[in-house]
Structure 1
Amino acid sequence: MKRLALILVLASVLAASVGIAHGAMLPLNHIQQGSAYFSPVLGLCEDYPRGTFAEDIERDFAMMAEYGITDLRVSIAWGDFEFAKGFTEWWLMDDTVDLAEKYGITLYPYICYAPTWATRAAWKSPPEDLQDWYDFVYEAVDRYKGRIHVWELWNEGDNEDFWVGTWEEQLELVKVGAQAVKDADPTAKTVFGGLTKKNPPHVETIFTSGVADYLDVINIHFYNETWDSTPTERIYETVKGVADVIHRYGGRQELWVAEIGYSDYVEPDGRVSYWVRTRAPYEKTRHFQAVTFARSYARMAATEDISTILWYEVKNLRSNSAAIGDVNNYHLGALDEDYFPKHLWFAVAAFNKLFAESFTVIDSQLVVDKENAIYPYVHAFQRQNGDVIVLAWNRGTAVESIGVTVPGSFADALQHTVTGNKTSFSFTAEGNDTTLALELRPEDISIIELFASSAPARLALADWNAEKLGNGAYRINATVVNRGSAGADGVLVEIIPNPNVTIISGAEPQAFDLAPGEAVSVSWEVEAARPGQLWVVARHRDAGPAAELLQL
């Protein structure tokens, strides 16, 4: 058995020496939260430009609330609200804030994109008079003081698609905007407007210019394998490089990833964008979009430096709407533009519940037997009650086997799919160690939840199938199981069809109270005039969702 304990120890020593060199012995979250246990905020992003109907915003918020997704980054385009100097209309943001409060959604607005009256040029140009910018930011913050507590200043000011001024002008714009935020609401957090260039010397200019003195949060954006050819797995090293800069200048600012995404678009020849081509045939599917989300979350959470993660975006951009950039902008959503869920939707909802409790990273305590694997990625997160979540995967095209030894004794274990379904998982216990035998498939991710004592309520689907009845009609069957040791009251079970499928019976969610280990069978009748899809979903406010896709 090829045990990597010595390698892991050496890696820990190296990491410690790097920390000493940068004056950063602890991750940012440990320092700023005052604890080794912490769970980052996990939410989504969505833009509501001028002309958006309140009904559409409410539909987004209602669906988010149903699935326990309660954090959302939104835009406030300056030119949409102040159409002439001194003349502002706030009805769109008023509706957004009212609806957010109704559905329990926390908003993270970014103020951006100048009106042409202020720039005498394009919307991504610097305002001629920064007093105009100050006044607008102040008015926005003052209007929603006590209702919105975080304000991001501009968006990707180091990306020429969103800013054509100099970097020095962008820094000054952020500083003036941050001052306006603090003048209007001293308790509000100020957030830098999302860096796309994340090399340490570039990040350092925020500090050497003095702008960081006005900021509570440094914010970085990722679109690896969509507009950036860097593999998803390199997110960890990138975050650590930015965190080191924050450490060197006192470690006061939080580090956020307030925009990150992965498009499921690819052309027949494997081209994704000008910068990216696929490396393997399983990439750029809807399933792999959700897998990439899970891998990205693991890499970010493992740094223990990121305190907020907001994934882009709620739903695909409408095909008849304009976009800044290429076609990938229409393929980033967790929902289709018609609100049919993609795998990503259930992955975000499932991870929100799976990682809801504070955790600490125990990677250095693992022993990994690589067996036939070349370079597996393995992360382990331990809750305060002793439960452990293990996430593992590989890249390439081959199925690989590994063994992962986790310190501790466990009463039970479940294996999760990326869309939240669960099956029992067997492990080997020896003394105070537990060994997991994992088969890594490059198109997927292994998610194992180990329970130190009894498992809480955990929903699963079994025996889901579509039975042909003739003339385009089907009976959909599924069994819902509570695989936990605690009861689950008010479990909702439903099917969600795409536009090609019509529900004949059972359109409304069915509610059940499930005792530990209890299973209940459910059926529906649908009609498909042409090939279609539907999701079978079981969800619960505490246990999270379990979802499986059926093709008709």
Structure 2
Amino acid sequence: MQNIDYCLEQQNDRTRCSSRDGIPERTKEPDMKYFFAIIGLACLFAGCGRQHSGYDRLLRSPDVLFYHVPVGLCEDYPEETTTLKIIRKDMEFLRHSGIDLLRISFGWDAIESERDQYDWHFWDDYVRMAVEEYGITLIPYVCYTPQWNSTGAQDTLNFWSYPPVDYEQFGVFMRALVSRYSRWIKSWELWNEPDISAYWRGSAADLARLVRIGSNAVRETDPEAIVVLPGLAHRTEFTRELFRDHGISPFVDVVNIHNYFETWHPSPVEAIADYVDEIAAIVHDYGDHQSIWMAEVGYSTWRVGARVSDHYQAYYDYEHTLDYQAIDLFKRLSLVAATNKMAAIAWYELKDLPQVEDVIGDNNNRNLGVAYLDHAAKPAAGALMFFNSLFSQPYRGITTELTMRRQPESDSHVVGFENEDGSVILVAWLRTADVQKRGDDVSGEVKDLRQEKIDIVIPRALSGTATLYTELGDATAYEQVERSAAETLVRDLTLEGGKIAILHIQ
């Protein structure tokens, strides 16, 4: 994605990014009651203190059964326009949201704009504040190529996306960076989305060379540090080439992948499990038990008519709205967590961008936050807090163990989890982006009148109460549960188009 912190105005009034018109204005103030109420729910489910701080929680052992997947946020910081006041507001938002994991970016091109001349002033203040004052676990990625070392130096707008002239200089920079911040940071991701030419104009072989040099520099400087393979935009064949053809496995501890299905990709969000499985298969076949992160995943609150992007058109009227972003967040996180393959997740991003700021890509980039630019919470912030509170203990996905009874050609999708304490969570909805079932209306304003009732058989004897939640944590008792010595039957769970049902059975 869409690294906003490099969409900066360049010398001589040149810019490296483009923008479009037609951005919708913020049309309503968010209802904040849920945002603060969720804090109480977090205490109910998880307690109010921080748990499992540090970097060890970000590596998943392949033989672990129950695992708690940390879920954080992403944020980019243009050094030229970010102030300490903005940073502190971000940190306070994280604190009030119960978030202590944050993916950020260090700009090689910004910090070392001249060879061997480093400008650390912004990052010295930022890192100390985030880690020492707010207890944030930072997981940065590092890129892009400074103009003085770019093979495309003559391309004054896009020099940063070209491979370096001298690859060893990336190692020199990584040694300086890691040495300076190793006290606070123990994870280093080496580049970002190299599978698309907007961010890397070299080949997979070129990228492998860069990662090997960067990895050696990180490990020589801080043997305790985690080395992360650059986050994949979507092209899994690129990752396969890195492992199979270029022997990248010994140089990385984590494989990071990104996902924006239904925003910048036509696939339905339900296909995210297949995406994760494909990456896991690559690691299985050619790797060495690397952990997998989805440390950039999101869904925008922007559209013009039916158009969301060049790759996705909305069909229903609720798609890419504030309320539906919250629903999408909960089901997207549930889908990823249910794979039993994920070690950490980070939602992109903390807050929206100024509507006049240049961005790489389209206007979705300005409207991905769980908060507005002024840090007022969108509904998605409440959904994120509720997800983290509900999934606060180690758990495992049990979707394949469930039996669903539903109508023929059902649109329903269900994922299930078993908590370490024996309770079960079910998350269910009607699929939104099933292109085969869409009609001819291309306005993007179709009313979703679908409704289904499904039964779910859980092969567990559950004797406690059942509670039905919305994505924001609004709770009602659920009475349609039948129990026996061998199983629990959830009867007549009602699913409606554009909504989500979250059931917790003790």
TM over 0.5: yes
Once residues 426 and 321 of structure 2 are traced to their aligned partners in structure 1, the CA distance between those partners, rounded to angstroms, is 24
AA paired with 2:456?
A: V
Once residues 273 and 198 of structure 1 are traced to their aligned partners in structure 2, the CA distance between those partners, rounded to angstroms, is 18
Matches within 5 A, 1:82-231: 82-101=112-131, 102-119=133-150, 120-121=153-154, 122-200=159-237, 202-231=239-268
- For 2:200, what is the secondary structure of its paired residue? coil
Please say if 1:280 is aligned against 2:316.
yes
Once residues 351 and 68 of structure 1 are traced to their aligned partners in structure 2, the CA distance between those partners, rounded to angstroms, is 11
Is the 2:470–2:502 contact (alpha carbons within 8 Å) kept by the matching residues of 1? yes
Partner of residue 336, structure 1? 372
Could you tell me how far 1:283 is from its partner in structure 2?
1.0
Greater shift after overlay, 52-61 or 421-430? 421-430
Partner of residue 300, structure 1? 336
Please say if 1:361 is aligned against 2:397.
yes
Is the 1:372–1:402 contact (alpha carbons within 8 Å) kept by the matching residues of 2? no
Partner of residue 454, structure 2? 402
Matches within 5 A, 1:361-440: 361-371=397-407, 374-396=410-432, 397=448, 398-406=450-458, 407-432=460-485, 433-436=487-490, 437-440=492-495
Could you tell me how far 1:224 is from its partner in structure 2?
0.7
Once residues 64 and 160 of structure 2 are traced to their aligned partners in structure 1, the CA distance between those partners, rounded to angstroms, is 43
Q: Percent identity?
A: 33
Report which of the two structures shows the higher radius of gyration computed on alpha carbons.
1
Once residues 381 and 205 of structure 2 are traced to their aligned partners in structure 1, the CA distance between those partners, rounded to angstroms, is 39
Q: Deviations 1:94-148 (Å, cap 9, x if unpaired)?
A: 1221111211111000001121112134111111111211111111111111310
- For 1:389, what is the secondary structure of its paired residue? strand
Could you tell me how far 1:434 is from its partner in structure 2?
2.3
Once residues 480 and 259 of structure 2 are traced to their aligned partners in structure 1, the CA distance between those partners, rounded to angstroms, is 36
Could you tell me how far 1:284 is from its partner in structure 2?
1.1
Once residues 292 and 69 of structure 2 are traced to their aligned partners in structure 1, the CA distance between those partners, rounded to angstroms, is 11
- For 1:89, what is the secondary structure of its paired residue? coil
| 4+ residue segments displaced more than 6 Å | none
Could you tell me how far 1:428 is from its partner in structure 2?
2.1
Once residues 285 and 187 of structure 1 are traced to their aligned partners in structure 2, the CA distance between those partners, rounded to angstroms, is 43
Is the 2:292–2:342 contact (alpha carbons within 8 Å) kept by the matching residues of 1? yes
Is the 1:316–1:337 contact (alpha carbons within 8 Å) kept by the matching residues of 2? yes
Could you tell me how far 1:43 is from its partner in structure 2?
0.5
Once residues 323 and 108 of structure 1 are traced to their aligned partners in structure 2, the CA distance between those partners, rounded to angstroms, is 22
Matches within 5 A, 1:469-488: none
Partner of residue 42, structure 1? 71
Q: Per the alignment, do residues 187 and 31 of structure 1 end up closer, same or farther by CA in structure 2, a change over 3 Å counting? A: closer
Please say if 1:447 is aligned against 2:483.
no
Is the 2:352–2:366 contact (alpha carbons within 8 Å) kept by the matching residues of 1? yes
Is the 1:49–1:80 contact (alpha carbons within 8 Å) kept by the matching residues of 2? no
Is the 1:223–1:262 contact (alpha carbons within 8 Å) kept by the matching residues of 2? yes
Could you tell me how far 1:223 is from its partner in structure 2?
0.9
- For 1:48, what is the secondary structure of its paired residue? coil
Please say if 1:257 is aligned against 2:294.
yes
Once residues 222 and 362 of structure 1 are traced to their aligned partners in structure 2, the CA distance between those partners, rounded to angstroms, is 23
Q: Deviations 1:268-318 (Å, cap 9, x if unpaired)?
A: 2x0111111013222111111111111111211111111111110000011
Higher strand proportion:
1
Matches within 5 A, 1:14-25: none
Once residues 30 and 387 of structure 1 are traced to their aligned partners in structure 2, the CA distance between those partners, rounded to angstroms, is 25
Q: Deviations 1:209-237 (Å, cap 9, x if unpaired)?
A: 01221000111111111111111100001
Once residues 238 and 259 of structure 2 are traced to their aligned partners in structure 1, the CA distance between those partners, rounded to angstroms, is 18
Q: Deviations 1:15-52 (Å, cap 9, x if unpaired)?
A: xxxxxxxxxxxxxx998254210011101100011121
Partner of residue 92, structure 2? 62
1:315 to 331, 351, 354: 351
Once residues 333 and 214 of structure 1 are traced to their aligned partners in structure 2, the CA distance between those partners, rounded to angstroms, is 33
Could you tell me how far 1:380 is from its partner in structure 2?
1.1
Once residues 84 and 161 of structure 1 are traced to their aligned partners in structure 2, the CA distance between those partners, rounded to angstroms, is 23
Is the 2:429–2:501 contact (alpha carbons within 8 Å) kept by the matching residues of 1? yes
- For 1:306, what is the secondary structure of its paired residue? coil
Could you tell me how far 1:200 is from its partner in structure 2?
4.7
Greater shift after overlay, 308-317 or 288-297? 288-297
Is the 1:61–1:103 contact (alpha carbons within 8 Å) kept by the matching residues of 2? yes
Once residues 179 and 421 of structure 1 are traced to their aligned partners in structure 2, the CA distance between those partners, rounded to angstroms, is 49
Once residues 401 and 204 of structure 1 are traced to their aligned partners in structure 2, the CA distance between those partners, rounded to angstroms, is 45
Please say if 1:239 is aligned against 2:288.
no
Could you tell me how far 1:373 is from its partner in structure 2?
6.3
Is the 1:246–1:253 contact (alpha carbons within 8 Å) kept by the matching residues of 2? yes
Q: Per the alignment, do residues 54 and 169 of structure 1 end up closer, same or farther by CA in structure 2, a change over 3 Å counting? A: same
Greater shift after overlay, 405-414 or 234-243? 405-414
AA paired with 2:102?
A: L
AA paired with 1:133?
A: F
Unaligned 5+ segments in structure 2 are: 1-57, 433-447
TM-score of the superposed pair, with normalisation by structure 2 = 0.80
CA RMSD of aligned residues (A): 1.8
Q: Deviations 1:423-467 (Å, cap 9, x if unpaired)?
A: 22223223133222311112011111111xxxxxxxxxxxxxxxx
The count of corresponding residues between Structure 1 and Structure 2 is 422
Is the 1:79–1:113 contact (alpha carbons within 8 Å) kept by the matching residues of 2? yes
